[in-house]
Structure 1
Amino acid sequence: MDAVAHPPMLVLVRESRSLTQGQLAEVMQKLDGSTSRISQGYVSRAEGGRLAVTGDRLELYAHALGYPVTLLCLTEQQVGAGAGLVHHRKKQAAAAGDLKRIHALLNLTRIQLRGLSAGVPQPYRAGIPHIEVDDLTTPADAARAIRTEFGVPPGPLGSVVKLLESAGALVVCRELVAPVPLDSGTESVPVDAVSCMPGDEDPLVLLNSGTPAERQRFTLAHELGHMVMHRVPHADQEPQANAFASELLMPTRDIRSDLRAQPLSVQRLLELKLRWKVSMWALLRRGHTLGVISDWQYRTLAVEMSSLGYRTSEPGPLKEDLPTAVKSIIAWHLDQGTEIAELARSAYLTPDEFLTQYATGQGSVGAPWDNRCSTPTATRVGEVVR
């Protein structure tokens, strides 16, 4: 039988490229170059399942979107339709178009990693427990339980990424939105990360590329909080995830003595930042939340830090917490002699985009593999007509 595109997948891949139906039709028309007219209406009917996309038209569709034909034909159950499956760490509502693209990237990354993980020996993974937050169990209690469950010693947490990966989660850096230099309590960060935890697949976190290390750790802890506490979404889930992240990274029993050891000043916040590996702003808010400093002291230090320019950039930059699990999966394939083209097919990507998304030194088969958070440069198909 001839291959036939799956209508929901047509929507997903188009949204991953940030194309409207009209823009995609224009790209297809330019590539086709024939007298046949490809309109927005054609794309709409294809996505709605009112016409079958097969043969040469399927090849054209895939070429216009920059994906293999096999991806467009995939019958795939998406996450995100159920609101409880997808969580964001965000400071304000993101644009609808951005959210569609981010959800599409999340689903496509799931598909890619599932294909790449097939047949790869898996290390022991502890799993992410569910802890119900109620009148008796707080988000801080849940964070303390996680530290105990995973044997985290008192004091600063070494690596949030390693904690997530040891629980079975995969962390991948992707360009979600244009990053800002620092999370300083402003409303300027639309989306820091997005995560999902489908029941029959590895939990997945997409971290926004370019996120500063001090916010990156808090963001990942925040997403872990969602995975632990929130099976069903509700109005309080964002402050609960923040409270979880604060306790996970700055446990009350340990951080309170550090915050009280000396009068809290900008210099002292910088010293604590280097020890606890969180932003000075996070430490300032933690001190205020725990009652170590008064409202007046909090406002005074916030004004001083703002006057020093720390709302956009803090001194003492921290080292990135780099993911390793996906890197290990690809390294295993390379050790088995798997070719790049075969890896790309497993991930439903073209070889060029596979190298862009999953390798450093793109285009070089023997290049070292790395998952560091550098901005992907995948082809923006829509730029053909813009």
Structure 2
Amino acid sequence: MLKRTPLFPVYARYNAKTVEFGGWEMPVQFASIKEEHEAVRTRAGLFDVSHMGEIAVRGRGSLAFLQKLMTNDVAKLRPGRAQYTLMCNEDGGTVDDLLIYQKGESDYLLVVNAANTEKDFAWLNEHIDADVELDNVSAQTAQLALQGPAAERVLQKLTNLDLPAMRPFSFQDNVEVAGVKALVSRTGYTGEDGFEIYCQAEDAITLWEAILTAGAEDGVLPCGLGARDTLRFEACLPLYGQELSETISPLEAGLGFAVKTEKESPFIGQAALKRQKEAGPPRRLVGIEMMDRGIPRHGCRVFAGSAEVGFITTGTQSPTLKKNIGLALVTADVAATGQVVEVDIRGKRLKAKIVPIPFYKRTKS
């Protein structure tokens, strides 16, 4: 039986087409992936991301506990700030990538990938310290993401919170949005400016309808996971299970900014990642642009001459660039921009070249 989010009852009203994703029945699209993608790049879109996992970490030992598990330096956080980080195994492979919100002195909220929630909760419990409390609050929490250049203007109609004063990766808890108590965070997974809004599960429908009503004149569309994937892909934001896994390290995936191998408190995977950093990662995540006609898809093999050098992690026809592009994990010796490779698409070797990433970077207004 697939799990459903608190917003499932309203999907039909917006003509949602649902698919299975990480054990959940989620909307892949409402209008069309292309229209929704374009809405987020030019106006704004509203996503139901209530399938994501939320884990509360509290207690005097919280900071030391999180420092032991996270690759980033959690000590750099302050209440009201969020941080992107990863958890790794001893070999430096990725257990998950996540956001940490510091709500109070010894009060943190972890937001993890939907399909990994149970695995992550078990991993945290396996390494728990005596003065730490863990609580999986996913079932009672809903999460909506309003993303795009018009997001701030639309959301401001519904709250007294001073949104222009909020910096990226800052948040406010216990804020009223459309009469609903929420945590509002200036974060997202689309490459655009935007907000992620966390509320009690029972308030999700009220919030969803209020945001779409407030955004009607700005052309805000409800958006599904299809557009969320093409948007994050163009911005080269990793998806766990594709760009990251227990056999792919954050350094291979180009996430060195979130791996503090020099931080004072040791963390799981630190020694392996330090060695990898010093020697240079054996594989690298690169951008691929097709020269021959064909769309590279997840799992397609990549060749340089007769040697198999890697595989496509994500590929599609980019709605913004109108090109067939992909992300590929390849051996470091063929990772240079301009290198010509071949991608095996349905048994045919098609020419492609390695190009700089990200494919898309928003221009700040």
Tell me which interval the TM-score lies in, with the shorter structure as reference length: under 0.3
Normalized per residue, the structure richer in helix is 1
Q: Could you tell me the TM-score, scaled by structure 2's length?
A: 0.24
Work out which structure has the larger RCO, using CA pairs closer than 8 Å and 6 or more positions apart in sequence. 1
Normalized per residue, the structure richer in strand is 2
